[in-house]
A and B are shown apart, each in its own frame.
Chain A
Amino acid sequence: MGFLGQAWTIAWKDILGELRTREMVFSMLLFGFLVILIFNFGIEPGLRDEALVKPGVLWAAFVFAGILGLNRSFSSEKENDCLQGLLLCPVDRAVIYLGKFLGNFVFVLAMSLAVLLFFSVLYNVDVIAVLPGLLAILGLATIGFCAVGTLFSAVSVGIKTRDVLLAILLFPVLVPVILAAAKSSAFVMNGEGLFAGGSWLAMLVVYDVVFLAVSVMVFDYVLEE
């Protein structure tokens, strides 16, 4: 089995577990809906810059809901010493990282798509017309989010205050992703097309490449037992 095949096996294990228990994606989803709902109270209807605020709301919902999933990513492996089993797998540590990353990517993306639909209805944004552009941004941003998020999830797994610690570690590092994603989706939502915010897209790509590479390199040290 190749490198990617091994990683996919680990990711599939997580996805299968999730399909059977349905505990994580559902709670992420609900939380994402709630963030959308609560932000609504902070935005006056008819606000002059309403169109500029909406992408921000969407990305706040993705990030807050997404971090719930990342929290579970490695802590779920703590039960029954699954983490030990994972570490005993005769594979490279980078494969474990990539597998967990892929699993998180699938979960966060699934959650984001549902939240996007909810958002589109409640905020009267026609996402169907701009769906390809939004999907591209969503994909790129989710890669960046999960690249760093999976690494930090592993960093915080053995720590008592891990839930809040993960947020404190992750959010400052995620600033470029959130900014670039919110900015470029504003272009897309205003009908200016995906490449109107070309430099923001480039930023997302650079962030993804840099942090995937760095995470693969340093992940070895995180789970050293």
Chain B
Amino acid sequence: MAEEQTLKRTFAEAPPAVIEQRGGRGGDRSLWVDALGAGSILAILFALYLALIWAPTEAVMGDIQRLFYFHVAAAWLALGPSFGVVAACSVLYLWKKDLRYDRIASASAELGVMFTTITLVTGPIWARPIWGAYWTWDPRLTTTLVLWFIFVAYLMLRSAVDAGHKRARLSAVFGIVGWIDVPIVFMSIRWWRTIHPTVIASEGGGLAPDMRLALFVAIGAFTLLYAYLLVVRVRQEDLATRLDRVRHQLYLR
């Protein structure tokens, strides 16, 4: 049964010739990935120092405001890179029919769930003492929640279909539609009143320079972490595909 599934999966993945070409890829550990990992750990530690110790305490909100650096960084990654990569790789997959794009989109969606969850958890912790409520139906909050549902739906769709080109096609279609939908969701909910603080406006927003530095470092650190996790996850999937191919060859002999 297991072999049968493997067989099906490998056939669905790609013709052997295509896999052969990238046999070397994703196999060996390479220096730049380790460097990226080390770099993101250092950057996170630095961001923690800046956010928790170095940045001045907010005059009105107190220490709870320090949550904001990670909240904003996670929200940026969820809405920006994570979803952007899902959409871009979905389009690229439909165009090029290369399953590697599908694996990148899938890895990015998983990270998207993680960062969206961080945003949705840190937000209410801050909002409870500051706004007096865990949740309000503000455009950004609601959009983030809808985004979370779209990411999870994307992964649910993937888990319901056997690996291969069919799964890649269907999830690419959903990824593209979801990505187009999010700005419309935001627009539609914005016509209600908003109480979410605008931190980075075109005029510079209401943020002290030290705080802004801490914020940008946090965003940079999280972005590095995202890049590292994405690379690791995609390599993992590449290896799984290769493993399937090897198993398949052994089975045939």
CA distance A200 to B161 in the complex (A): 37
Is B153's CB within 8 Å of the partner chain A?
Answer: yes
Residues of B within 8 A of A148 (CB): 177
Is B211's CB within 8 Å of the partner chain A?
Answer: no
The answer to whether B180 and A155 touch across the interface, beta carbons within 8 angstroms, is no
The answer to whether A224 and B169 touch across the interface, beta carbons within 8 angstroms, is yes
Binding site for A on B (CB under 8 A): 94, 142, 146, 149-150, 152-153, 156-157, 160-161, 166, 169-170, 172-174, 176-178, 180-181, 184-185, 187-189, 191
Chain A contributes a number of interface residues (CB within 8 A of B) equal to 33
The answer to whether B173 and A151 touch across the interface, beta carbons within 8 angstroms, is yes
Name A188-225 residues within 8 Å CB distance of B: 199-200, 203, 206-207, 210-211, 214-215, 218, 221-222, 224
Given contacts A159-B160, A161-B160, A214-B180, whether A169 and B174 have CB atoms under 8 Å apart is: yes
Distance of B252 from chain A, by nearest CB (Å) = 26
Residues of B within 8 A of A156 (CB): 157
Q: Which residue of B lies closest to A180 (CB)?
A: B188
Residues of B within 8 A of A207 (CB): 184
* Total residue contacts A-B, CB cutoff 8 A: 81
CA distance A111 to B181 in the complex (A): 26
Residues of B within 8 A of A165 (CB): 156-157, 160
Supplied contacts A175-B181, A200-B191, 13 more A-B pairs, CB within 8 Å: A152-B174, A152-B177, A155-B157, A161-B160, A172-B178, A173-B150, A173-B178, A203-B184, A211-B180, A214-B180, A218-B94, A222-B169, A224-B169
The answer to whether A214 and B146 touch across the interface, beta carbons within 8 angstroms, is no
7 contacts between A and B (CB under 8 A): A151-B177, A155-B170, A159-B157, A160-B160, A173-B150, A179-B188, A224-B169
The 3 closest A-B pairs by CB, nearest first: A172-B149, A176-B188, A173-B181
Residues of B within 8 A of A210 (CB): 180, 184
Is A88's CB within 8 Å of the partner chain B?
Answer: no
Distance of B143 from chain A, by nearest CB (Å) = 9
Given contacts A155-B170, A176-B185, A221-B173, whether A171 and B157 have CB atoms under 8 Å apart is: no
Residues of B within 8 A of A176 (CB): 181, 184-185, 187-188
CA distance A211 to B191 in the complex (A): 21
Residues of A within 8 A of B152 (CB): 168
The answer to whether A221 and B94 touch across the interface, beta carbons within 8 angstroms, is yes
CA distance A10 to B181 in the complex (A): 28
The answer to whether B176 and A168 touch across the interface, beta carbons within 8 angstroms, is no
Given contacts A160-B160, A161-B160, A221-B94, whether A172 and B184 have CB atoms under 8 Å apart is: no
CA distance A203 to B188 in the complex (A): 7
Q: Which residue of A lies closest to B147 (CB)?
A: A172
The answer to whether A171 and B149 touch across the interface, beta carbons within 8 angstroms, is yes
The answer to whether B161 and A159 touch across the interface, beta carbons within 8 angstroms, is yes
Residues of A within 8 A of B180 (CB): 210-211, 214
CA distance A214 to B152 in the complex (A): 22
CA distance A54 to B176 in the complex (A): 34
Name A143-173 residues within 8 Å CB distance of B: 148, 151-152, 155-156, 158-161, 165, 168-169, 171-173
Instruction: Please tell me which one of the listed residues A152, A175, A222 contacts residue B185 in the complex, with CB atoms under 8 A apart.
Output: A175
Greatest chain A CB density within 10 A among B152, B173, B180 is at: B173
Distance of A145 from chain B, by nearest CB (Å) = 13
Residues of A within 8 A of B157 (CB): 155-156, 159, 165, 169
CA distance A156 to B176 in the complex (A): 16
Residues of B within 8 A of A160 (CB): 160
Instruction: Please tell me which one of the listed residues B149, B153, B169 contacts residue A221 in the complex, with CB atoms under 8 A apart.
Output: B169
Residues of A within 8 A of B173 (CB): 151, 155, 218, 221-222
